[in-house]
Amino acid sequence: MMRSVLQVVVLATLTGLLLPAVAQAQVQPPADQVQVVAPEAVPVAAPEAVPVAAPEAVPVAAPDPVTSTAVGDAPVSVEAAPSEAPVADDPKDKSRAMGVQGQALYDQGQFIQAAAAFEAAQVLFSHPSNLFNAAKAHEKAAEYDKAAASYQSYLELAQAQNNGTAANDAADVERTIEVLKEKAFLALPEVTIDSDPSGAEIYVDDPVKVLGSTPYATHLPAGTHKVFLKKKGHQGFEREFVVRSRDALRLAFAMEKIKNDGFVRVYTNIRKARIYVDGKVVAVSPFDDPLPVEAGTHQIVVEKEDYNQVSRTVEIRAGVVTDVKAELKLGRKSFSWRGGLGITSLILGGGSLGTGFWLRSMANKEWNTSSDYKTYKQWTYVGYGVGSGLLGIGLALLIWEGARKEVRPQDLVLMEKIPMPVAGPAPIGNGFMLGATARW
């Protein structure tokens, strides 16, 4: 019994000594292991306001509130953190802070400065919302060309960051771009270009692209430009000019004709006749001086009241005088003495022949040995001869009357015989000829 009690006491004592040691061994780490203590929680400052908070993943389209350029006038933004929050060195944080500055400038109506801030934010961290907000600021500042360019960059970047998928508002933005381009064009200074003669082709800054023909009005940006004018038969023309902002400009240029003329000289038998070249009156006869005409094919017309019109198509060669002869006749000729005398001769000739035939019939009734027979026969031959002669004269006078070129005496131009010396190589062989020509 004592032994059992003693065993229980010893066992209890050992248990009381070993249990604290085992517990302490479970709490303390081994000597070669470092104890890790959890860091204290550090408060994180809220992000400052930006037109669009930059997402963690880059390929993200513009935020849902910005679905169209017509949705609102204000740029896209989020709630800003307190201004005293420190700005980290991370480009994304710097971009966010620059966006907050741009939004503040936009709200104050300083649109040009706001656009510059949004563009600076885009340089720090590339995101479509920066470009969209810059475009909106440019649009409000009436910088339509810059706004259109920023909208276009916005669409391209959004598509590139979304694996080729266009932004949700792409259709609306593209329509806005077209409207802005039209506004930008109309806001430019108006430039009117004219030339003498008109109808010249116009090239501005690009000698290949034709804008139109003079007179022509367009809009050009301020600065130095170069205009090119081209017209057939005239020297090409180019000139630099300066367009000033908001000042309309009118330009007029005189074009020099290419010296490629030939000459035409028109002779006519009627004075005060009008001479036309290609439908334009160039002279009144008598006019013997050579008229300068551009080389090529031309129509020469000479006309006067009561006279028939003469038209000629001639080929003019450069440096050569081409002579054209035009003889005008009265459209209605009066019956002259030639016609009257011819008709009278025909009547008398016919009567004489008739008398000859009658005398011949009378002679046949007489004896051929009688004196009456001889008298009838003699006068028969006279009738035949006189009648034939008168018929021939009358017929000739009528032919002359029909072929006569009638011109009123007061209208007739008398041209003197003027000898013109001629010298040159013979047409055949190696000889030389010398002579003269004359004109009437």
Encoding tokens for residue 355?
A: 């008398």
**Bond into 286 cis (ω within 30):** yes
Q: How far apart are CA 177 and CA 186, in angstroms?
A: 14
Domain covering 46-187, topology = 1.25.40
The Cα 292–Cα 56 span in angstroms is 82
Contacting residues for 16 by C-beta, under 8 A, at least 6 apart = none
Neighbours of 440 (CB within 10 A): 9
Going from the C-alpha of 69 to that of each of 65, 170, 211, 291, the distances in angstroms are 11, 10, 32, 68
Per-residue pLDDT of the chain (440 residues; tens, 9 = 90+): 444 544 544 454 545 544 444 344 443 433 333 232 333 333 323 333 334 333 333 333 333 333 333 334 556 553 444 444 444 578 889 999 999 999 999 999 999 999 999 999 999 999 999 999 999 999 998 888 899 999 999 999 999 989 989 888 989 999 999 999 888 877 788 899 999 989 999 999 998 899 899 999 988 888 899 999 999 888 888 889 999 887 889 999 988 887 777 898 998 888 889 999 999 999 998 888 888 888 889 999 999 888 888 899 999 888 889 999 888 888 766 667 777 888 898 898 888 888 888 888 888 888 777 888 888 888 888 888 888 898 899 888 878 777 766 777 777 887 544 445 545 554 444 554 555 444 44
Instruction: Please give the pLDDT value at position 425.
Output: 52
Q: Yes or no: say if 213 and 200 are a contact pair by the CB < 8 Å rule.
A: yes
Contact 93, 190 (CB under 8 A): no
Go through 309-337 and write b for each residue having 16 or more CB atoms within 10 A of its CB, e for each that does not: ebeeebebeeeeebebebebbbeeeeeee
The CATH number of domain 188-254, selected from 3.10.250.10, 3.40.50.720, 3.40.50.880, 2.60.40.10: 2.60.40.10
Query: What's the pLDDT score for residue 204?
Result: 92
The CA distance from 77 to 130, in Å, is: 10
Instruction: Give me 40's structure tokens.
Output: 């204290």
CA dist 49 → 75, 98, 103, 123, 314 (Å): 12, 9, 9, 17, 85
One-letter-per-residue 3-state SS of 174-237: HHHHHHHHHHHHHHCCEEEEEEECCCCEEEECCCCCCCEECCEEEECCCEEEEEEEECCCECCE
Residue 170 DSSP symbol: H
Angle at 313 between CA 312 and CA 318, to 5 degrees: 125
Q: How far apart are CA 91 and CA 114, in angstroms?
A: 19
Which residues of 327-425 form beta strands (DSSP E)? 418-425
Query: Which residues neighbour 49 within 8 Å (Cβ) at sequence distance 6 or greater?
Result: 77, 78, 79, 80, 81, 96, 99, 100, 103
Is there a contact between 130 and 118 (Cβ–Cβ < 8 Å)? yes
Quick one: which H or E segment has residue 311?
strand 310-316
**Sequential DSSP letters for 98-143:** HHHHHHHHHHTT-HHHHHHHHHHHHHHS--HHHHHHHHHHHHHTT-
Domain boundaries, the chain: 46-187, 188-254, 261-326, 337-403
Q: Which of 354, 336, 340, 346 is nearest to 392 (CA)?
A: 346
Grouping H, G, I as helix, E, B as strand and the rest as coil, residue 33 is coil
Question: The sheet that has 237-243: what strands, in order across it?
Answer: 212-213, 201-204, 223-230, 237-243
Best CATH choice for the domain 261-326 from the list 3.30.1240.10, 3.40.50.2300, 2.60.40.10, 3.40.50.10170? 2.60.40.10
| Partners of 126 in the β-ladder | none
3-state secondary structure 244-282: CCCCCEEEEEECCECCCEEEEEEEECECCCEEEECCEEE
**CA dist., res. 360 & res. 382, Å (int):** 11
The answer to whether domain 46-187 and domain 261-326 are alike in fold is no
Structure tokens at 49: 């306001």
Q: What is the DSSP letter of 295?
A: S
Find all residues with CB under 8 Å of 83, minimum gap 6, and list them: 48
Contact 191, 243 (CB under 8 A): yes
